[in-house]
Chain A
Amino acid sequence: MAQSFRMKPPMGEDNGWWWQQAAEGHLAIQRCGSCGTLRHPPRPMCGDCHSLAWDHVVSSGRGTLDSYTILHHPQFPGFDYPLIIILVQLEEGTRFTSQLVNCSPEDVEFGMPVEMVMHEDPDGFRLPMFQPAQGASA
């Protein structure tokens, strides 16, 4: 599948590190350096304790499908349609918006266990996608 048209994220102080983690194969979740609250999408300050300190954890990549939409139109170059977009409830507790692959549209179900697969475009850009969970642990 040709993916050369994928819109690349702008890489700023608040989000560039996350994409660097993805490039290394990890689905990262930001963690407050003071109170330990996980947050996604990343932000420069903890909304709970106001600490500017943070690090991250690497998600297990396991979760359940919280919601989804199947996109048919308009069709943008570089994407395969119907395109299944999902909201994953990760087992760490945060949610993540992604694409479901290796699954036909009729098999998508609310609550289904899913697992992360790192997708790589022909130009080397990597982003986390998900597929139906293969292992029993999910």
Chain B
Amino acid sequence: MSHFLKDKAAIAGIGLTEFSKKSGVSELSLAAQATLAACEDAGLPPSEIDGFVSYTLDSTDEIELARTVGAGDLKLFTKVNYGGGAAVGTILHAVMAVATGVADNVICYRAMNGRSGQRMGQGISGQIVSSDLVHWSWYMPYGMLTPGSWIAMIANKYMHHYGVTAEDLGRVAISQRHYAQSNPRSFFHGKPLTMEDYLASKMIADPLRLYDFCQETDGGCAILVTSAERARDLQQKPAIIRGVVQASTRGQEQMTSYYRDELDSLPEMEMAARLVYAQSGLGPDDINAACLYDAFTSEVIMQLESFGFCGRGEGKDMVRDGALDIDGRLPNNTHGGLLSEAYIHGMNSIAEGARLVRGTSTSQPKGVEHVLVSSGVGVPTGALILARD
């Protein structure tokens, strides 16, 4: 049934602003610059854009962006709920629109002054009563006010159960930092990381240290989705969208799904894996590279299991074998990821997925046919498989 979407659409353009800790411009400006860059990358004028999709956490409304870049009449304007979990969801909504003829050329965007403006996890309070605020209120009165504190509870249980060590988390951080050395856009370009540096970094939310955490970034990223047919006529090699799904499971909360049967796995990622493999007709053996969502290092190891690259509890063994490195089984986050390149809520990892399919990553592994990209972990999420045409 869901196979209807397979190969119907493609990523035809990617656009990024400069990444910084203080952009000095509005989030609308970042969104507009990223959108224009995506259109120029594809060779399609902004006047042909007829759809915009973003995240509910994004402050830039679709019509503000449309006016700013001189887009045409809009047939699709929508936002996918929350933050990092929405990344792949925006692509799904764009693909559904393109595949059904609702819209022709859709920009998915995320632009944020994530360091100089509103930072993530600063607490929520006030007199407004909504189901979302009531959700957070089971945690915030206890001082659980940050994403690190919410994720650490699951990471600790998982690590305890399967014997995952601090060094294993460090291996993820170091692998991605190594990729960042080839990527001039990376915040950590020119700043490699050793295991000594990693282990000496400040403990933030035990067992998570400073370098287990992603960046906070000012920047924007836009992805242009159009039909596979149209993409073939544009100037870049299309990244064909072979599978794209959203996933949220029974008992799902944002970040704090502490009441499900199991605490040491990622049910929403296992669901995303099941769906995206079914839709694409592919399996883990077909995936040559990945951008597994990496707000925290522990999430990368857990996802190796969720997506079937190894069995439960074996993620650490893959990491110890160097699987994530460029000559490993699954080169992962070759741009440096959210840990080392920038934190644009996963949109920059979708851009890297397209580069890997084009063969233009700054750390390009050989023979990439299929790339897996995932969205936020421990939240309603999604998965995307991009393929070479």
Contacts and interface: CB of A to CB of B under 8 A. Distances in A.
B131 interface: yes
A95 B157 contact: no
Contacts of B139: 97
A96 B134 CA distance: 15
Given A10-B137, A76-B143, A68 B156 contact: yes
Interface SS of chain A:
loop
Contact of B256 (A6, A72, A97, A99): A97
Given A68-B153, A69-B149, A72-B203, A6 B129 contact: no
Given A9-B137, A69-B152, A79 B204 contact: no
Nearest to A69: B152
Contacts of B203: 70, 72-73
A76 to B, nearest CB: 6
B259 A67 contact: no
Given A66-B157, A66-B263, A7 B202 contact: no
Q: Name the residue in A12, A85, A94 with the highest tally of chain B Cβ atoms < 10 Å from its Cβ.
A: A85
Interface in A12-52: 12, 14-15, 40-41, 47
A113 to B, nearest CB: 17
Contacts of B140: 7, 9
A11 interface: yes
Given A12-B134, A15-B134, A66-B263, A71 B205 contact: yes
Contacts of A99: 142-143
Contacts of B250: 47
Given A69-B206, A71-B143, A94-B259, A110 B138 contact: no
Q: Name the residue in B124, B203, B207 with the highest tally of chain A Cβ atoms < 10 Å from its Cβ.
A: B203
A106 to B, nearest CB: 11
B283 interface: no
Contact of B134 (A10, A79, A98, A127): A10
How large, as a class, is the contact surface on chain B? 35 or more
A83 B259 CA distance: 22
B311 interface: no
Given A66-B157, A69-B205, A6 B141 contact: yes
B258 interface: yes
B125 interface: yes
A124 interface: no
Interface in B20-77: none
Interface of B: 123-131, 133-135, 137-146, 149, 152-157, 160, 202-208, 250, 256, 258-259, 263
Interface of A: 6-12, 14-15, 40-41, 47, 66-74, 76, 79, 82-83, 85, 87, 94-95, 97-99, 105, 110, 127
